Structure 1
């Protein structure tokens, strides 16, 4: 059984494991004060060309989202997210558990626009309703689409005019930035969003996300929030070592490019078989629509999510490739699919 369910089924890239082993018996300070974390933070700032951002390393995406949004929002304020957003459907109400409502927005291809946000603000005019304050987006989105630079510029300008916080979930940021259709650089993001994170868990690390806070008003006392949410780890060095290894050369981007290449192979061959897709996705997640009988047969050899029922005969499945996906397994899947069709 080979899995296309997600991009974190495998452990970690060997270089990361080696770095962890080699540093294992060194004594270091705790809670992110170790030299590896300090070096990783300096390196990330250098990569972004910004020394004025704050960077905190957390263990996972849900923890990062709930810690950041819980810290950034006042009790009466709410987040806005596409209806497909990860914080709405896949985090067990973590944001709501912090006391903040998420306003769901139906958005084509999973991406928010200023017109979406304007409609929400118009629908929440006074203190008898929650106050929309934070715009949650992800890149790539939960359905594999990516944001172009001009789209982020438009969101940025709208948020500035309306005093909104623009937050980007970057769990799959590597795949987005390495997509053939992408026109963004990592160094563009601090000027375009108020906070974002760089996902390691889904791009070759054992665990870890690097939260980058760009807006000064969001930085104060953030380590207090980390500690209160259980996110300030005693062995914070474990994340520092991994991000140092990912970014000391091009490894982070090389791994994301491999995941995208494997998805491109799947996408091309599935298109050649005249199969349509649920969404336009240029990243490492694709959503082909297949006959239910074919899906049942494929599940005997491959693991994947059935994403959405299209009609009584067809469903969309999600195939996710990773930094470690094997080309021969992609070829085998395509061959088996074509035989079934």
Structure 2
């Protein structure tokens, strides 16, 4: 059986495992004060080319919940795409903090600046808006849940709307390595850091065993964030586990290399899908490829391939996903193509 279900089926890149083994018996301070966390933070700041407050947590939903829950006032909600992770795949984690998610209509998984501006404008135009939940943040994912990418211009436009309404801009980077690894991506880490107030660098889906690095470039928003992490149960006594991994990922350009490997494998699959005349559901330039299939094709492929199910369309056909990762081998890609 071939596995193209997700990008976290494997463990961790060998470089991380080697470093964990090598440092296993070294005595370190706890709670993120160890030398590895300190070193990782410095390397990340060097990569984004600006100062920042950086915190490590174990997973993406945890990162989203703590960031949003710690920044928003109790009468505020967060604006997101209707296909965004916090809108559909986090079991109400954000709502559990007492904050509403405003799921606005997206196109190709992306939230347009005009959509955000219209929502905010209409909110403040309502004479009863003081009786309502305020828009208090904009959240997007780069890449999106459908593998698409925001251009630098699109990010700048969203940033401009956020500045106009004085609300922070938060970018979920759970798969950020696969954005950076795409030839169609015109934004680097320094651009992400410049254009938003807070973002996180995904490790779990990008070569680490676990871990996300939350980066506050607007340091005013990070006041008492460590205490909020503790409140949400996110502070690891053995913080070194996360520090070692990000210290390794940000050595020798490994993070970007891992992302590019995953994207290169996905582009080979995409080319074969087009040549074999499969219907692409969306034009994704990253590690997730989506196609539309009927029952017969779905059942045939599922005999030999593990893939992700996304949704059933109104015509009865299904959207399925092939997802590559930092660990995808060319041999598996070739076998997949032969089965297609």
TM-score interval, normalised by the smaller of the two chains = over 0.9
TM-score (norm 2): 0.97
Look up the SS of the partner of 1:55 in the other structure. Answer: strand
Of the structure 1 ranges 37-46 and 305-314, higher mean CA displacement relative to structure 2 is found in 305-314
Show the counterpart of 1:287.
Answer: 290
1:120 aligns with 2:123: no
CA contact (8 A) 2:4 2:322 kept: yes
With normalisation by structure 1, the TM-score equals: 0.96
- Structure 2 distance, partners of 1:75, 1:283, is 36
Please list, as runs of the form range in 1=range in 2, the aligned pairs for 1:162-311 lying within 5 A after superposition: 162-311=165-314
Cα separation, 2, equivalents of 1:185 and 1:230: 32
Q: Distance in 2 between matches of 1:298 and 1:261?
A: 22
Q: Secondary structure at the match of 1:161?
A: helix
- Cα deviation for residue 288 of structure 1 reads 1.0
1:336 paired residue number: 339
Q: Name 2:43's counterpart in structure 1.
A: 43
1:69 and 1:213 map into 2 onto residues whose CA distance is 12
Residues 1:317 and 2:320 are matched in the alignment: yes
1:142 has 2:145 as partner: yes
User: Counterparts of 1:118 and 1:155 in 2: how far apart (Å)?
Assistant: 8
Q: Does 1:22 align with 2:25?
A: no
Q: Is the 8 A contact 1:203 1:252 kept in 2?
A: yes
Structure 1 CA distance, aligned partners of 2:337 and 2:314?
23
Q: Where does 1:83-122 land on structure 2 (aligned, <5 Å)?
A: 83-122=82-121
Deviations 1:80-133 (A, max 9, x none): 110100011111110000000000111111111221112221342311110001
Task: Note the C-alpha offset of 1:37.
Answer: 0.3
Number of matched residues?
336
CA distance in 2, matches of 1:220, 1:336: 53
Q: Per-residue CA shift, 1:283-331, capped at 9, x if unaligned?
A: 1001011222111111111111221223445211011000111111111
Q: How far does the alpha carbon of each residue in 1:255-292 deviate from its partner, in whole angstroms, 9 at most, with x for none?
A: 10010011001000000011121112111001011222
Alignment partners' CA distance in 2, 1:85 and 1:154 = 19
